[in-house]
Structure 1
């Protein structure tokens, strides 16, 4: 029996040949990765999508970036601003469109418009009210590790959506989503809810930049010596659907610029990606040892 199996394998290997997969006709789309927070400026990264089988190197990735677009935001009061292309090292290519004078406000809505080589892309988002965070604290789980947990008082009159981001000083260059960063109040509407803010290597929603390297601690824990900046945000229903859809799609299976799955939810018309408003509270978490008795 083993001889027969071996012969079959040899025949199959001998008959195999290299197969080339042709790319289907692919329409490139403008990819928007944009957000605005209360008291913060608008941020928009623009790239052009590519077929899933594209080979990537630094030059090809740089070529996906759109640095000659006109990007405009308009708030619900009718005030508008054309965003300015600025240099920011943690991205590659290291450029991002930012507002200079306009900052986000809770309860306000924002229309985004991108014009590039005859293409027009639009998106709409709102910044809801701030989350009612009761507390956020650390707790030691060993001599070398801690976990971070929080508690929100959920509003019974509305369906609420929450989003958590983290930045560990000396390891992360900027905020990125925590592990399992999204939650809604389906199971705790109108009640206090305790949750854990977990450490992660979860990249930014469209995987525009890399974050911290491997660390010798459990994936959902922090080193007890860490200083962790935590951002707890409330987002609207559409932003929740968009971010949740992107995460479920596993960031297009590791290809940050393809997003070929047209079923992935987006709130960008004429393109793909996300334009997200966030009402955020910021915390700095360190672990303080209890005083000795």
Structure 2
């Protein structure tokens, strides 16, 4: 249970909130060494979103009640593009676990723009900066099975990598009515240095959704409505997600592993603030 909760706090895209100010004061008094963990992003065409928590010291006893002490919902979170500034609002999203995210409402991500993040919490100031790279559109995405009689299969994705641009990619998927959020595909972080041609074609392996009620399966199933997203990101975003993926695969504790930790571009904390270009398509598979 302890290991699961440690992963719970740092599996960023998704999962960090707080429960009450009184609980946060309690954490402050007993966990002076814990750090603020940030997962923030702004996609092209969407508002900025930020999820916050505290890291958990390795010697802390964790259960389903005390894990709530480490979620943060009383911070002031500000995003600016150099001209406009917006203070994000904490909102409840019942489709997510945990259900609280700091959302923007006016600022919409634009390719080429830079965005600065500032978090004020208790006596701490956390800062980071990112920009949104060029969008690379999905050329095609389809669901394929090894044998026609199978009831499961994989998604195959095609896109063209721009010749004169340096690009880093992340592939995410979401199964409608099964996963409330997009989940990074396993081995879905791509560096175009490794591409042998401009035309890229690959199999997409389903990512690991930590809060799934069913056993993990790397494939998709007949009848699934699958959303596939291709995101462009910076080198720092690629490094972060690669280190995150390595910890998932190795089954280690991400915050306090034996000899490594997740890459971060957060000044004064842990985690990532990243801008993404994005192209999303849907695939409706047929149920037999």
TM class by shorter chain equals: 0.7 to 0.9
Given candidates 257, 264, 267, the residue that maps to 1:266 is: 264
Residue in structure 1 matched with residue 225 of structure 2 by the alignment: 227
- Structure 1 residues 69 and 253: CA distance shift in structure 2, 3 A: farther
User: 1:269 deviation in Å?
Assistant: 0.5
C-alpha separation between the residues in 2 aligned to 1:235 and 1:266?
14
User: 1:92 deviation in Å?
Assistant: 4.5
Residue in structure 1 matched with residue 103 of structure 2 by the alignment: 98
Contact 1:31 1:273 in 2 (8 A): yes
String of CA shifts for 1:126-158, please: whole Å, max 9, x gaps: 111111322111223232122211111111212
Given candidates 104, 108, 125, the residue that maps to 2:130 is: 125
**2:281 paired with 1:283:** yes
Residue in structure 1 matched with residue 157 of structure 2 by the alignment: 150
C-alpha separation between the residues in 1 aligned to 2:58 and 2:173?
30
SS in 2 for 1:172: coil
**2:34 paired with 1:28:** yes
Given candidates 80, 84, 90, the residue that maps to 2:85 is: 80
Residue in structure 2 matched with residue 241 of structure 1 by the alignment: 239
**2:218 paired with 1:211:** no
Contact 1:43 1:99 in 2 (8 A): yes
Contact 1:38 1:105 in 2 (8 A): yes
Query: In terms of Rg, which structure is larger?
Result: 1
- Structure 1 residues 93 and 179: CA distance shift in structure 2, 3 A: closer
User: 1:251 deviation in Å?
Assistant: 8.8
Contact 1:173 1:211 in 2 (8 A): no
Contact 1:44 1:97 in 2 (8 A): yes
Contact 1:172 1:212 in 2 (8 A): no
User: 1:212 deviation in Å?
Assistant: 5.0
Residue in structure 1 matched with residue 8 of structure 2 by the alignment: none
**Residue-pair matches, total:** 254
C-alpha separation between the residues in 2 aligned to 1:68 and 1:85?
8
SS in 1 for 2:77: strand
User: 1:220 deviation in Å?
Assistant: 3.0
Q: TM-score, normalised by structure 2?
A: 0.80
Given candidates 198, 201, 205, the residue that maps to 1:191 is: 198
Trace 1:33-182 onto structure 2 (pairs within 5 A).
33-75=39-81, 77-142=82-147, 143=149, 144-182=151-189
User: 1:231 deviation in Å?
Assistant: 1.0
User: 1:26 deviation in Å?
Assistant: 7.3
C-alpha separation between the residues in 1 aligned to 2:122 and 2:286?
55
Residue in structure 2 matched with residue 20 of structure 1 by the alignment: none
String of CA shifts for 1:243-282, please: whole Å, max 9, x gaps: 11222233995657x4566643100000001112111111
Which moves more between the two structures, 134-143 or 265-274? 134-143
CA RMSD of aligned residues (A): 2.4
SS in 2 for 1:159: coil
SS in 1 for 2:107: strand
> Which runs of 5 or more residues in structure 1 are unaligned?
1-24, 204-209
Contact 2:126 2:269 in 1 (8 A): yes
Contact 1:165 1:231 in 2 (8 A): yes
SS in 2 for 1:102: coil
